[in-house]
Amino acid sequence: MVSPNGTHADRFADRTAVITGAARGQGRSHALRLAAEGADVIAVDVCRNIETVAYDLATPAELDDTVAMVRDAGRRAVGVQADVRNPDQLTGGIENACAELGTDPDVVVANAGIGLMADPDDRAAFRDQLDVNLAGVWNTVQATAHRMIAHGRGGAIVLISSVYGLTGRGGDGRPGTDGYVASKHGVIGLTRSAASWLAPHRIRVNCVNPTGVATPMVLNPAVAALAVTDEAGNNSYAANVMDVPMLEPEDLTAAVTFLASDEARYITGISLPVDAGLLLH
């Protein structure tokens, strides 16, 4: 049954979802929608700043808030403070959370990512983009897929890339910008590779490619300084074809939950743009 707000009651009943970057923004939106549709949630976030990133990352209090919101929705939740760049820390945190809940992952959303760098000319910015946005996604797959194989129920993994993973736009020859574009292209390759080796285990892997989304990663002074706003209030940062400056997190969540659901049971290895027409340029 579909509720008035578009959720499907019990679509993820008796399932557990692992979501990285879950303290706020898109990750929190994914966690709350999955919980509303019956899933228990393991919410992962680094909860500290990264020196090369131009804006503040999430806090422990924000992760606690996400966990509390999931519990208020009537589902179980565990928060994990872990850096996706650190595979031992990430794997250990997820293992402990699974033990606490007495379950293993059925749904994984590799959402953690970083955007604008404080100094795009700093070569360390290129490394950090790849470490978080690509290696961190691979670490997330590794930390969860083998547990999913072991429990034998199949499942779904959704990786978050970007429209800039599907176009050459976005880079300008500097380490920070080229690193972002390269990392998001890499996620698409990882999606296809993981979809191939996990298919025999009935584990599907897909990725979502969003345009700009109204989250703290985009709605901050550093990003605003890059954009030009016209008289109608449209922001040039995303340059969407449809008449919307940027999407809301819930717009991405709708795509994520579809790909994670049984309705998409024969969809694997795809890249799904949720881009308000940006790729039509």
Place of tokens 């940062």: 237
The residue from 55, 164, 180, 237 that is catalytic is: 180
DSSP state of 242: S
CA dist 135 and 183 (Å) reads 9
Residue 180 designated active-site: yes
Distances (CA, A) of 268 to 51, 111, 193, 276: 36, 18, 11, 23
* DSSP β-bridge partners for residue 15: none
For residue 224, count other CB atoms closer than 10 A to its CB: 12
Q: Is 270 exposed, middle or buried (0-12, 13-18, 19+ CB in 10 A)?
A: middle
CA dist 41 and 3 (Å) reads 21
Catalytic residues: 180
